[in-house]
A and B are shown apart, each in its own frame.
Chain A
Amino acid sequence: MMSDLTKLSLAEARDAVASKKVSSVELTKAHIDAIEKARGLNAFIVETPEKALDMAKASDARIASGKACPLEGLPLGIKDLYATQGVHMQACSHILDGFKPPYESTVTSQLWRDGAVMLGKLNMDEFAMGSSNETSYYGPVASPWLPPGWDADKGRSALKGDKKGLLVPGGSSGGSSAAVAAHLCLGATATDTGGSIRQPAAFTGTVGIKPTYGRCSRWGVAAFASSLDQAGPIARNVRDCAIMLRSMAGYDPKDSTSVNAPVPDYEKAVGASIKGKKIGIPKEYRIDGMPAEIEALWQQGIEWLRAAGAEIVDISLPHTKTALPAYYIVAPAEASSNLARYDGVRYGLRVPGKDISSMYENTRAEGFGREVRRRIMIGTYVLSAGYYDAYYVRAQKIRTLIKRDFELAYQDGIDAILTPATPSAAFGIGEKGSGDPVEMYLNDVFTVTVNMAGLPGLAVPGGLSASGLPLGLQLIGRPFEEETLFSVAEVIEQAAGRMSLPKAWW
């Protein structure tokens, strides 16, 4: 049955398509259908059904001639931050109105090289700045998880309005996490600068990994904060994530920060034993006012890993607390410079002005949303004369300290670190951030350390909150040891049991 096809995991679909039990065209049609029915969620902002079917047909032809590639015929969603040749790429911002890139990002071109099929572009926080997908020019995304106590009718009714009260899918990769959780695609590309893969994955009961900085190419992905951005997948389980990462990762000579190291077959690490692996538990991640159920989940995770033969070690990462404020200096600073190119001259929106300066000012005022404007201004300020040393340089020094904390732990033999992924379950659309911008930033408290240190981080569902919403655990790894993360995450997934994602109410 058509709808059953969207219930397949990516790995199952891969095997089914490769063994010709299902055609890519059938599989793709099923997803196109699902996307149409789910428009109310606003996860996809651009649908590309014709292109998808063309790609599916080509995949079926390749399979017929015995030339199947690792992702042959598998329909995926692509975050709007990625350049997709000839197809809308706007980073969900008004300022890139009408932009159709004449180029394809390296990461997505690798997906197409491996036979995958593009269903469309996914919603996100504007220029990846946000933790709830509420800053998108195209409006918020509704998580497929209903708020506690809501029924389907109430949910559908809210979808028709301003979506207030429905849950956020996290951000900035909210479209990606919602689409995956709602079975609208087998997997999705996402990006993570301060937690934008891991937090949405945790909020929607899906799996997401931000690989080591330099593992995936940034070429063709609109830059937010160059020293922190990384591309990565969101999928419904650990194995699916591993399969996707293998295709996404790899050296790119067009990116000077891309690392020339071979890409392992990450899927092989899924199911590997973790006996004897040392798992660090950092005491500084136990923050004031942490909800009891988050602490309980963390303990549960520790027990699962111990039961699987891992050695649990208490560790200290003393500079943990400084990571979030330091991030909110470094990231906006880099963003203020990276977003200077959006000026109405060569592409995107142009708002006229009496002279060139007015044109810039009008275009950028109208083109950027409030969060982006805030961050550009903070970034401009902390780089400005008289403040550069006190803010930016200082934050970069603190970054060295944060990274050193991890290095010392790893030198002591720690293989991976276990922490909660988020300080809470998903909250409601419109609930946070309207008064104090900092309130929204606190969502990233467990995740930003990982970007600041350039390490790989993975979020895997650990269980449900008391109110029945997904909660995630985070694993932080050594540089380029994503395999360990997949092995450990699989243990958690097996112990917790596959997350039961919500049935369609939309």
Chain B
Amino acid sequence: MSVDQATVRRIAHLARIAVRDEEVPHLQEELNAILAFVEELSAVDVSGVEAMTSVIPMRLPLRKDEVTDHAGADVVTGNAPGAEDHFFTVPKVVE
């Protein structure tokens, strides 16, 4: 399995990471190197094997329905690069 340049661009967009045109070939090489490395797994016999869902045998713990978190708008928006009146601000999104 290997990726072509169009796929590299598509994945970069899915991951929302800008890649410059001149970076694409090198990135393609790196990704293909990794994919070649993991290729050997396709030869392993996994018939009848369950995918691991939890590395320790445990049930999902359930929490009581109580309001316990009062961080507050100051704390929540305090680290924001763009904030106004306790809203987060971002470039306009068009639906």
- A contacts, CB < 8 Å to B: 98-100, 102, 212-214, 227, 253, 256-257, 259, 319, 321-322, 325-326, 328-329, 336, 340, 343-350, 352-362, 364-365, 368, 373-374, 376-378, 380-381, 384, 387, 390-391, 393-401, 403, 436-438, 441, 452-454, 479
Contacts and interface: CB of A to CB of B under 8 A. Distances in A.
A345 B93 CA distance: 13
> B interface, how many residues as a size bin?
35 or more
A321 B54 CA distance: 22
Interface string B42-62: 101010011110111010110
B71 interface: yes
B16 A361 contact: yes
B52 A400 contact: yes
A98 B50 contact: no
B33 A438 contact: yes
Given A322-B44, A362-B18, A399-B55, 7 more contacts: A348-B81, A359-B90, A361-B17, A365-B18, A381-B31, A400-B52, A437-B33
19 contacts: A100-B79, A213-B55, A227-B52, A227-B55, A321-B40, A336-B15, A345-B81, A377-B12, A377-B15, A393-B51, A395-B38, A397-B51, A397-B52, A400-B50, A400-B51, A401-B44, A403-B52, A436-B33, A438-B34
Given A359-B91, A395-B41, A347 B58 contact: no
A393 B50 CA distance: 9
A322 B39 CA distance: 10
Contacts of B15: 336, 364, 376-377, 380
Contact of A346 (B17, B56, B88): B88
A446 to B, nearest CB: 17
A360 B12 CA distance: 11
Contact of B37 (A102, A321, A325): A325
Nearest to B58: A259
B40 A322 contact: yes
Contacts of B94: 355
A328 B56 contact: no
B50 A361 contact: no
B63 to A, nearest CB: 7
Nearest to A401: B49
B61 A328 contact: no
Contacts of B33: 436-438
Nearest to B53: A396
A346 B81 CA distance: 7
A369 to B, nearest CB: 11
Contacts of A100: 79
B4 to A, nearest CB: 12
Interface in B5-44: 7-8, 11-19, 27, 30-31, 33-35, 37-42, 44
Contact of A348 (B31, B51, B71, B79): B79
A345 B80 contact: yes
B92 interface: yes
A325 B41 contact: yes
Nearest to B36: A438
B73 interface: no
Which of the listed residues A321, A358, A368, A396 has the most CB atoms from chain B within 10 Å of its own CB? Answer: A396
B18 A346 contact: no
A218 B90 CA distance: 30
Contacts of A98: 79
Contact of A361 (B3, B18, B34, B44): B18
Nearest to A332: B34
A349 B81 contact: yes
Contacts of B30: 374, 437
A357 B17 contact: no
A253 B37 contact: no
Contacts of B79: 98-100, 102, 346-348
Given A350-B81, A373-B17, A326 B41 contact: yes
Nearest to B20: A365
A28 B42 CA distance: 54
B17 A364 contact: yes
Nearest to B8: A377
B67 interface: no
A43 to B, nearest CB: 26
A401 B46 CA distance: 8
